Every structure is written in structure tokens, then in C-alpha cells.
């Protein structure tokens, strides 16, 4: 089976930094994706980690520790448009498993 745990909701201030944590247990794990989903829209790809360590891409960075079953998404210089759900998605044997997502609200 699989288990994915991430906080349900977070609030942060515009211009700040926020870290969204995810712990997971899946069978057939190869790597971990992070997706962003605005309300009523499709999820869009943010990042992918297969090796331990930090992957940086502009304002967004993602970290993976395979041995600990742990990942986080780091968002810097928050903007109002970053208000969305962030989905942690470890791979399984044939597909991606998604957590319930973390709903981030950015306030002025």
C-alpha cells in the first residue's frame, strides 16, 4: 500500500519563504514529483527528484531523502498567484500516488 502525509493547509505572507513537507511510503518507488493545482484547474508539474538532495528551479526548490521517505517543497519570494494546492506525488510501480495536497494561502 501507500501512505502520503502532508499538511492540509498553510498560510504565508507575500514575499516570504514557505516550506511544505511530505512524508511517504510507497512500493515501487523511483522518484517524487511535486505538482501545483489551482482551484478548478488541472495539476501542473513543478519539480522532480530521483536522487537525494536539493533541486533548485527559480523560486521553487525541492528536496528528497529516500532513506527517510521525506521530501519538501520550498517556495521563495512568495507571490499572491502562488496561492494554490501543492501535491506531493511519489511514484509507484505503474503510476503516481498523490497526497491530499497542501492548500497554501498567500496573504498581503
Partner 1 sequence: NAGVMQNPRHLVRRRGQEARLRCSPMKGHSHVYWYRQLPEEGLKFMVYLQKENIIDESGMPKERFSAEFPKEGPSILRIQQVVRGDSAAYFCASSPGLELANYGYTFGSGTRLTVV
What is the smallest separation between the CB atom of 38 and partner 1, expressed in angstroms? 12
Q: What span, in angstroms and rounded, lies between the C-alpha atoms of 63 and 43?
A: 20
Please say which residue, 38 or 77, places its beta carbon nearer to partner 1. Answer: 38
DSSP string, 1-57: --EEE--SEEEEETT--EEEEEEEE-TT---EEEEEE-TTS--EEEEEE-SSEEEEE
**How many CB atoms are located within 10 Å of the residue 93 CB?**
9
Contacting positions for partner 1 (CB under 8 A): 4, 30-31, 33, 41-45, 48, 50, 87, 91, 93-101
Minimum Å gap between C-beta 44 and partner 1 is 7
Choice between 39 and 108, CB closer to partner 1: 39
Least distance from C-beta 24 to partner 1, angstroms? Answer: 12
Shorter beta-carbon distance to partner 1: residue 46 or 74: 46
Amino acid at each position: 500500500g501507500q501512505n502520503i502525509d502532508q499538511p492540509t493547509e498553510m498560510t504565508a505572507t507575500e514575499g516570504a519563504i514557505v516550506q511544505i513537507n511530505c512524508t511517504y511510503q510507497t512500493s515501487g518507488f523511483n522518484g517524487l514529483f511535486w505538482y501545483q493545482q489551482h482551484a478548478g484547474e488541472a495539476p501542473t508539474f513543478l519539480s522532480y527528484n530521483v536522487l537525494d538532495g536539493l533541486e533548485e528551479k527559480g523560486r521553487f526548490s525541492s528536496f528528497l531523502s529516500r532513506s527517510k521517505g521525506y521530501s519538501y517543497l520550498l517556495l521563495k519570494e512568495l507571490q499572491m498567484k502562488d496561492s494554490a494546492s501543492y501535491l506531493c506525488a511519489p511514484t509507484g510501480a505503474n503510476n503516481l500516488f498523490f497526497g491530499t495536497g497542501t492548500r497554501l494561502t498567500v496573504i498581503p
